[in-house]
């Protein structure tokens, strides 16, 4: 009887430990909504080339950050006002896995109005990546940022835009526009990342070192990010030729 009891416990436990991280992460409703909405935001910005983020900049970006439905009021009073995800390009050119981040504490401008907006940031160089991997960084402080240009190409970009560590856009009422986000604080959402991967981890492990496989829950988003970023690289190469 005792042997049977031990076996009845051990087998389910072994099966549980064998499950992928995405199946044991216990993502909450907000986490799942963030992953789903981030993919939708990315699909929208790439399906409207004349009013979206230039392909050339997507192709050159080291990382992309997507924050769906950031509220205007929360930015004014500070605090954690937006939840989003980030992914960074690996040495082989492929985008790595997803990490949860939060943004808040400043004024985002909202040049195009509305009570909330989707916010997209492109990290353009190593300095911006270093900020992303820190415990937190302030845009306009530790990392320089400017509003990104909108359109099929970046030919009309200013020198400041082409040399900024971070380029940013917001979308409200279906339209993308460059967004000024100085004063905003960006930091990893460690609790959400622990839920996603089933253990405590770091932005470096997720975004740069590629030590963690993409969890099942994040796979649809990562499929979208990898598809769109690869398409941007292909389009940029075709434009150059």
Classify residue 106 by burial, with Cβ atoms within 10 Å: 0-12, 13-18, 19+. buried
Residue linked to tokens 């590629």: 210
User: What's the pLDDT band for 5 if we cut at 50, 70, 90?
Assistant: very low
* pLDDT tens, residue by residue, 6-51: 444 444 444 444 444 434 458 999 999 999 999 999 888 777 666 7
pLDDT at 174: 63
Q: Kind of pairing, strands 145-147 and 166-172? A: parallel
Over residues 178-188, the mean pLDDT reads 77
User: What's the pLDDT band for 225 if we cut at 50, 70, 90?
Assistant: very high
d(CA 21, CA 195): 9
Over residues 188-204, the mean pLDDT reads 93
Residue 30: how many other CB atoms lie within 10 Å? 12
d(CA 141, CA 63): 19
Q: What is the pTM of this model?
A: 0.80
* pLDDT tens, residue by residue, 131-165: 888 888 887 676 777 877 777 655 545 555 667 88
């Amino acid at each position: 009887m005792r042997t049977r009891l031990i076996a009845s416990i051990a087998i389910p436990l072994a099966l549980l430990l064998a499950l992928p991280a995405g199946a044991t992460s216990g993502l909450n409703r907000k986490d799942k909504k963030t992953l789903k909405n981030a993919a939708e935001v990315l699909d929208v910005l790439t399906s409207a080339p004349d009013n979206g983020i230039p392909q050339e900049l997507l192709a050159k970006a080291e990382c992309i950050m997507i924050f769906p439905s950031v509220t205007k009021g929360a930015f004014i009073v500070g605090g954690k006002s937006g939840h989003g995800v980030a992914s960074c390009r690996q040495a082989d050119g492929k985008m790595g896995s997803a990490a949860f981040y939060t943004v808040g504490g400043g004024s985002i401008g909202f040049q195009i109005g509305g009570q909330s907006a989707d916010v997209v940031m492109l990290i353009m160089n190593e300095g911006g990546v270093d900020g992303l991997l820190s415990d937190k960084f302030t845009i306009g402080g530790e990392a320089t940022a400017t509003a990104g240009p909108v359109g099929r190409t970046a030919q009309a970009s200013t020198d400041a835009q082409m040399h900024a560590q971070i380029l940013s856009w917001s979308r409200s009422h279906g339209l993308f526009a460059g967004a000024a986000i100085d004063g905003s604080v960006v930091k990893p959402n460690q609790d959400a990342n622990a839920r996603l991967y089933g253990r405590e981890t770091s932005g470096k492990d997720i975004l740069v070192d590629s030590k963690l496989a993409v969890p099942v829950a994040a796979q649809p988003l990562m499929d979208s990010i990898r598809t769109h970023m690869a398409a941007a690289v292909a389009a940029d190469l075709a434009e150059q030729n």
